[in-house]
Amino acid sequence: MLGKGLALALLATAAVVAAAAPVPLPLPAAQAACEPGTKIDSSTADQARKKLEAAGYRKVRELKKGCDNVWHATAEKDGAETGVALTPDGKTYPER
């Protein structure tokens, strides 16, 4: 049986190790629902916004990335508000 001093030392060591363990960052909601092992690419919202603007969309907002790496947004094109999807290969598709 361990002495009280040794038991306390072990508990203190365990607390220090637990405190030093990295805390995982929360995933964006669109990615939190992804299946374990789904590969999310490194494209950013800023990159997606620039590609959508280059495709003629203005006032791009509500950018969300899905598990399939497709960006979804609301934007204006030709004076009308629309939903739009941007695929990883740079193609845009209207949504809704």
pLDDT digits (tens, 9 = 90+) for 7-64: 555 555 555 544 554 544 444 545 556 788 888 899 999 999 999 999 999 999 999 9
The helix/strand count (H/E) of the chain reads as: 3, 4
Answer whether 62's CB lies under 8 Å from 73's CB.
yes
| pTM score of the predicted model | 0.64
Given a contact cutoff of 8 angstroms between Cβ atoms, the answer to whether 69 and 89 are in contact is no
CA torsion sign for 5, 10, 13, 19 is negative
